[in-house]
Structures are given as C-alpha cells and as structure tokens.
Amino acid sequence: MKMDLVSGYKGVVGLVFGNENSSSNEDSYIERLLDRISNGKLAEDRRNAITELQLVVSESNSAQLAFGAMGFPVMLGVLKEERDDIEMVRGALETLVTALTPISHVKGSSNEVQPALMNSDLLSREAESISLLISLLSEDDFYVRYYTLQLLTALLTNFPQRLQEAILTIPRGITRLMDMLMDREVIRNEALLLLTHLIHEAEEIQKIVVFEGAFEKIFSIIKEEGGSDGGVVVQDCLELLNNLLRNNGSNQILLRETIGLDSLISILKLRGSNFTQQKTINLLSALETIKLLIMGGSETDPGKDLNRQANKTTLVQKKVLDYLLMLGVENQWAPVAVRCEAMRCIGDLIAGDSKNLDALGRKFLGEEPQVEPALNSILRIILRTSSMQEFVAADYVFKSFCEKNADGQSMLASTLIPQPYPMNRAPLEEDVNMSFGSMLLHGLTWGETDGDLEICSRAASVLSHVLKDNLQCKERVLQIEIEAPVPSLGGPEPLMHRMVKYLALASSMKSKDGKSGASRNSYVEAIILKLLVTWLADCPNAVHCFLDARPHLTYLLELVSSSSATVCIRGLAAVVLGECVIYNKSSESGKDAFAIVDAVSQKVGLSSYFLKFDEMQKSLIFINAGSTLTRKAFTRSSAASMADIQDEDENDLSEQGNLDHPILSSILNSYFVNLVTRLEADIRDQIVEVYSHPKINVAVVPAELEQKTNESDSDYVKRLKAFVEKQCSEIQNLLVRNATLAEDLAKTGGGQNSQSEQRVSGGSDRIQLETLRRDLQESSQRIEILKAEKAKVESEAIMYRNLAGKIESDLRSLSDAYNSLEQSNIQLEKEMKALKSGGSSTFPDVEAIRAEAREEAQKESEGELNDLLVCLGQEQSKVDRLSARLLELGEDVDKLLEGIGDDTGAAGDAEDEDTD
C-alpha cells in the first residue's frame, strides 16, 4: 500500500509543481525522517525525528504533499503499535493535524491543488484509520484526545459525508464523541465543533446524538458559561442545537416534551444593557432557534402544521412574547440586528394564530404613567427609526397581525380619527399619548412642508395592511378627511386625495433632484401606489372617490408614460388605472369605465399600456418580492466580524439612477404580487369587454326630439337635422376610435393573450374566436390522447395476436406428435397380439442357437491352437540347430540367450498394449 501511495502522490507532485527535481531534496529529507521513525533503534531518536517532521510539514506546501505520499502508513503504524509511548503518539497526531491544515500565508492560484485537502482525502478514504482515531479518544492523555478531536474535525470539514458514514459503522463511535462533552473545557469545546460538523444534514446521527442526551448537555454548558453573556462556547452550543432542530420535527418534539423550552427562553432574558459583539451573536443564534421551532420542521413532514402549532402554544405559554417585545421594541440599547430579528420572530409567532394575535393586541409596554399598547410602540418604531431594516421588520409585524384578521383590522381602523391641524404639526416626540389611529394619521401627514415624504410612505405601508381584503375598513377610511394646512385655501380633503397629492409630490421632487434622490423617492412612490392598489381592489366607492378629482386620472396617465419613472412605478400606476376600469360602477360621463379605457387608448395606447404589466412582472423587484431578508447563521468558522451584524441600509443605495429601491423586495410581499397578477388578468379581459361593447346612449332626449311650443315646422326640421348630423358625427368618431383600439390590441403581444387573439378587429368576434380556439384546443388534446390510447391498444393487440399464433403452432405440433405416437402404439399392440396368437412355434429356439454357436467357436479355437503349436515346434527346431552351430563355433550359448526372454516379454507386453 505504501508504494501505491508514493507512486500516486509523486505523479501529483509532478503535475502541480512541474519539475519533480525542484522538491527532490525536501522529499528525500522527509523520507529519511520517516525511515528514522520506522526503523530507528533509539526511542529518543525516533521522537526527535517526529518533532522535526512536524516542523517541516507545518512550513511548506511541498513538504505537506511529500508527507502525504509517504507518511500516512508510518504515522498510522505509530498510532496502532506505539500506544505505550505517549510522546510518540502525541507527535504522530500533531503531525497529522499539521498535514491536514492549510498553510495560510502561502497564496497560490485558485486552481492550484491544495496538499492539505489532498491529505484529508487520502486519510478519510480508509475506514480503519477513522476507527483507529475514534479508539484514541479513550486514552487518558489530554493531548492525545485533543489532537484526535482536531484531526477528526479537519476531516469532517473537508469530507463530511465520508466521515459520517464511517463513524456510523464504528461501534459506540458517537457515544465516545458525546462523552467528550463532559471532559475538560478545551476538550469539550473541540467536541462541540466536531459534533456540529458531524450532525449537519445527517438525520440518523442526529437521532443518536439526541438519544445520548445532547439537549441536556448543551443547555448545561450554556448555563455554566453564563447564557447570552457567555463567550464563543455558547455560540457553538446554540449552533449545535440549531443543527439538531433544523427541518427535524421529531427532535423538536423531543426537546419540547423532555426538557422543555424554559432553558432556551431563559437565554433571551436580558441581564444588563451591555451588548458586546459576542452577546449579539449569541442572542441572534437563540432567536434563530426560536424561529426554527416556529417553522415546525421540514416542508415534507406531514405533521409539520401540528408540530408548529404546538411549538407556538408552548412558546407563548412560557411568555416568549414578552421577552421578544423587550428585545425588539422596548430595549433601544439592543443592536439593530437583534431588534429586527426579535420583531421578525414576533411576526412569525402571531401569523395565522388567532390566540397569539389577541395576545399581542392586549400587550402593553412601558412603565406608569407612560404605558401604551405594544402595537403603538411598534408603529412608533416605524415612524421614527433611521434604520431601513428595522422599518421592514416592524412593518412585517403589522403585516402578520392584519393577515386574515378582520377583527384586528377593524379595531385599528376604528381609532383613525383626524386630529386638528395644529396637533398634526406636533413633533413626533409628542405622540406618546396618541391613539394608534391618531399616530398613524399624524405620520401620514408628516413631512409635507419640509419635503420629506419617507415617514408618510411608511405610515402608508401600515395603512395598506389595515385595509387589505377588508371592505368595511376601506369604506370607513374613505370617510376620513384631512384638514388643509391653510383653511382659507379650501376645506378638508379626503385622505385618499391627500395620498395621491403626496404621490405627485414625490414624483416632482425626483424629477427636480435628478439622480440624487431617485432611489428614495421611487421607494416612496411605490409604497403609496401599493396603498392605492390595495385600497381600490374590490371597492367601487374607493374608485369613485379617486375619480372625483379629474387631475388624478391625468396624473396617472402621465406617470404610466413617464420615462423617468422606474419599471415598478409605471407598472403599479397601470394597475391603479386598470382598477378604475374593473371596479367602476359609475354611469357619470367622463368617469365611467368606457371613459377610462378611451383615455388610456388615446394618451398611452393599449399596446404600450399592456407592455407595462409585462415589464413589471419581469423586473427584479417583482421576481424577488416576498424575500424575508433573513441573515445567515453565525458560526465560529465564518469568523463573523462586527460588520456582519450591523445594519446594512445604505449598502449600494447611492447613485442608482432609474433603479428601484432594493427594500421594495420586502415591502412588496408575495400576497401583493399575487394580487397584482390576478388584477392584471381581470384588467385585460375587462378592457377588451369595454371596447367590444361601447357605451350606448339609450336615454331619449324629449327636448331634442319633440317640437317646442311656438316653434315653426321649418325650425323644428332644421333642429332635427342638426341633431341627426351630430349623432352621425359621434357615431363616426366611435367607429374610428374602435378601429384604433382594435389596431392597438392587434399589436399587443404581451400578457396572457396570444398573437392570434390580438389580430381580431372586432371585440365580439375576438371573444367568440377565443371560445372557439379553446374548444378546438381541448378537442385537439382529447384527439391526441385518444390517438395515443388507440396506438397503445393496437400494439398490444398485435403482440397478443402474435403470441396466440405461436401458441397455436405449438399446440398443432404437439397434436401431430401425439397422433404419431398413438398410431405407433396401435401398430405395436397389433404386432404383439399377432405374436401372442401365433403360439410358441413361431419363436426361435434361443438355447439351441447358443449351443450351436458355442460349438462352432470351440472348433475354431481348437484349430487355431493346433496351428500355433505347429509353428512353435518349427521355431524350436530352428533354435536347436542354431545352438548346435554356435557350440561348434565355440560360443557360449547360455550367455548369449541371457536376457533375451525378458526383452521379448517386454516387447510382447508392449505389443499387447498396442493391440489393446
């Protein structure tokens, strides 16, 4: 294995560092050190070699790489076989930690291979090495446990899934890690970091960790460290807790039903007004825990809603609402980030929960005599804060309070009572004793004289929540009239007219200031337009009030066509115009739906008007609408600085030119975006309907058609003739106007209507064609489905037909074979019967035949034997003659014949084998 590692890493060295000779000296030095460690005779020399190796690896990338190529087997061998030599084990562990730690002062290219990462990859691949490291946690030596935890943390940071799988397979592996939480502080803190990485997105490990008493140990450490006033250890504990609860409903239930939520809520209790950076991060981490409990678990968990409701109920019972109000509203020494997160938690806690909504509505803050409802205090934050993020968070509370809460909306709307003008001009600091409605109206009219409409727009955002989906509140607020700054210039004006006035004022201020105030004023315009869109929706009386002032329509038409306005502003203005069409019940000339469509067609053009919807829907503000601006979780590894938790309101807001204010992504929530999308479809259909059926004056004018007293016949005829000519002229104008509308619609390609629909000149024909087209489309779809089903049935029929033919052929073959066998059987039975009926005379005498054959064979064998004996006699006589001749010649016959018989026997045997 060692040779494989060496060859593999040598190849990487060549690829990364180019010339292998450039680091050959360092490689050979590390190799000598490893040799001393492996083969050294003296223990002291081996320890010194480990110390030198650790120093070299800590200073050089190439040394880290060379160590990875050769050193792991040696170091693991030391850990496995040298357990008694604690100093050696310490040195080996420290060297391994160094090899897995990036060298920070070396700045290589971004695509350069990092030796520390490669070493982590190599070490984490072997499950045996992980098991060996886990076993070291049982050692008594402090530094052995400490370096082992550091080593495991480094491996988890780089290859979490691989380590999670390995640790799950080790018996009591997680139990040993949990035991480290009860060790000395340094060991405990390292174990916290290790467990935080280990349980991340690992549900099985989370279950085991909780079973091993993780919740009790976490809160015990937090209490020991001083709660929110504690150091970074408290942050690590809360991060571990959040990883256990995030998207895990079962763990949330265990926390709630075993140790309860008191220990968590106690972290939110303030102990003094000194907010350090670490305390701020600790509070934000605890607020994140509250938010995870309010979420209730994973989106795919079927019991999420029940768990969320149970968590909310328990939290409110434990008076978490009081602590959140203290953090987010009452305590003005708390950092902006903490106040914002606390108010977001309040919004999540009351959303869709009638009991919690009532609880917040009944809350009072402050001390006697300055006691006021909590909602008043939150409204004051909206009107006074200099932080844009804090405004958004407080606005979210009102959005959650008014969502599907008609009683709460009515309660707030009932306090909207106009104050005398001198009271309206009072400084904001003097609004402590005002009711909610008076404070809101105060904010709506504040800033008109000094040209700062931001406070007005913030109050308008709150008012839009109060009016949303509540016709009774909309009608009530329509009756509110605001006193004029100078009574001699006119009487009171409706609140809606004042809002449109501020909208126009913000637009004019933007055009005067150029680019310097474009972003802020576009934000003011968008919020006021949002209020108008919400107010006019499903409220014909609001539309009538809006159109009471003729300049309103003119201003909106100019705003839709304005090149200086942003895409979002033009789109929202187009929506308000559309609402004046679809919710228009007026029959008064110049204010009815036909007059609005006619004005849009003449001043803007329908194609250009519909294009504003498409541009708005594609803008980044609408695409990102509804984002909650949640902050990232604070972790020790991210090394959060104070800048990370400060307010970021002014980030990238200067010199944005014609861009929308980024805060609008939060103000224009998902509900409002859905409302605009629904309205857009209705507006398109209604405009088509209006121009398809133009207004027809059916009223008879008796004064024009009847002859007047003392009027001569000739004058009467002339008057009738003039009347007819006038009617003909108006009809001709209507025809021209309809032709223009049809042309505009034919050019329109956006929205939900297709090109073929826009080319239809007549509205009624277009609607009929649309109906036919939909019917045709549905029929075509049904035909395609039937065709597909038919093809499927035909293919199945062919398959079954082929299968039936094959089965029929097989049956036919089997039948023929059966018939043949049957015939053979019949034939054999006939022959057997014939043989039986013929008697024994027909059977041959087998024994006689055998005897005769035996006699013939015996005769043949006797003849062959006689012939063989004759041949042998002849050969023997030849041998005798040859022997006598040899004797005469003086040869020793016995010696010559010696062994001849054996050779002959052997040859004979061979011949017999060949014959066989």
Residue 525 · residue 661 · CB < 8 Å: no
Nearest to 351 by CA among 300, 297, 309: 309
Q: What is the mean pLDDT of residues 40-62?
A: 89
pLDDT of residue 110: 52
* pLDDT score at 535: 96
Mean pLDDT for the stretch of residues 207-214: 93
For all residues of the chain together, what is the average pLDDT?
Answer: 80
More confident residue, 26 or 129: 129
In this structure, of 140-144, 363-367, 777-781, 814-818, the range with the lowest mean pLDDT score is 777-781
pLDDT of res. 644: 47
Measured CA to CA in angstroms, residue 804 lies from 350, 800, 807, 812, 813 at distances of 69, 6, 5, 12, 14
Whole-number percent of the chain with pLDDT over 70: 76
Calculate the CA 206 to chain-centre distance. 21
Q: Summarize pLDDT for 232-286 with one digit per residue, the tens.
A: 999 999 999 999 999 999 999 999 999 999 999 999 988 777 889 999 999 999 9
Nearest to 473 by CA among 415, 400, 396, 399: 415
Per-residue CA distances from 47 to 43, 51, 63, 91, 148 (Å): 6, 6, 19, 7, 19
> Does pLDDT of 901 surpass 60?
no
CA dist 684 and 364 (Å) reads: 48
Contact 290, 246 (CB under 8 A): no
Query: What average pLDDT does the segment 581-590 reach?
Result: 86
pLDDT at 736: 67
372: helix, strand or coil? strand
Among 382-391, 588-597, 833-842, name the most confident range: 382-391
- Using the predicted structure, report yes or no on whether residue 910 has a pLDDT greater than 60: no
**How large is the average pLDDT for residues 870-899?**
71
**In the beta sheet, which residues pair with residue 482?**
493
Give residue 141's pLDDT: 93
Q: What is the largest CA-CA distance in the chain?
A: 198
Q: What's the confidence (pLDDT) of residue 5?
A: 40
Got the DSSP string for 790-844?
HHHHHHHHHHHHHHHHHHHHHHHHHHHHHHHHHHHHHHHHHHHHHHHHH-GGGS-
Q: What is the pLDDT of residue 825?
A: 82
What is the signed CA dihedral for 31, 35, 36, 37, rounded to 10 degrees?
100
pLDDT of residue 298: 83
Hey, what amino acid is at 66? A
Average pLDDT over residues 207-234: 93
Q: Where is average pLDDT lowest: 189-193, 270-274, 346-350?
A: 270-274
Give the tens place of pLDDT for each residue, 456-509: 999 999 999 999 999 999 999 999 988 776 555 567 889 999 999 999 988 887
Q: What is the pLDDT of residue 858?
A: 77
Residue with tokens 């002229």: 729
pLDDT in tens, 803-858: 778 887 877 887 788 788 888 888 888 888 887 776 544 445 656 776 777 777 77
User: Residue 396: is its pLDDT beyond 70?
Assistant: yes
C-alpha distance from residue 55 to each of 46, 95, 97 (Å): 14, 8, 12
pLDDT at 189 over 60: yes
**pLDDT at residue 802 greater than cutoff 90:** no
Residue 636 reports pLDDT greater than 50: yes
Kindly state the percentage of the chain with pLDDT values over 90: 43
pLDDT over 70 (residue 764): no
Residues near 543 by Cβ (< 8 Å), separated by ≥ 6?
A: 536, 579, 580, 583, 584, 585, 586
Read off the pLDDT of each residue in 117-141 and give the average, rounded to a whole number: 91
**DSSP letter string, 331-345:** -TTS-HHHHHHHHHH
Query: 137-180 pLDDT, tens per residue?
Result: 999 999 999 999 999 999 999 999 999 999 999 999 999 999 99
Confidence of residue 550 (pLDDT cuts 50, 70, 90): confident
Residue 426 has pLDDT above 90, yes or no: no
**Which DSSP state fits 494?**
E
- Residue 698: pLDDT band (50, 70, 90) is very low
Report the alpha-carbon distance of residue 223 to residue 263 in Å, rounded: 8
Size (the chain), residues? 916
**Token pair for residue 58?**
């800590």
Report, as an integer, the average pLDDT of 281-303. 91
Report the C-alpha gap between 192 and 178 in whole angstroms. Answer: 9
Looking at per-residue pLDDT, the higher value among 54 and 802 belongs to: 54
Single out the residue of 472, 437, 443 nearest to residue 455, CA to CA.
Answer: 443
pLDDT in tens, 59-116: 888 888 889 888 899 999 999 998 889 999 999 999 999 999 988 754 454 556 788 9
Give yes or no for residue 132 having a pLDDT over 90.
yes
**Which of residues 564 and 359 earns the better pLDDT score?**
359
Encoded tokens for 165: 């799988």
pTM over 0.75: no
* pLDDT for the residue 23: 55
In one-letter notation, the amino acid at residue 479 is Q
| Mean pLDDT calculated for residue range 757-767 | 44
CA atoms within 13 A on the CB side of 472: 10
Q: What share of the chain is helix, strand, coil (3-state, %, to 5)?
A: 75, 0, 25
The token pair that represents 420 in the structure block: 């005398």
Q: Residue 314 above 70 pLDDT?
A: yes
Of 3, 58, 66, the closest CA to residue 31 belongs to: 66
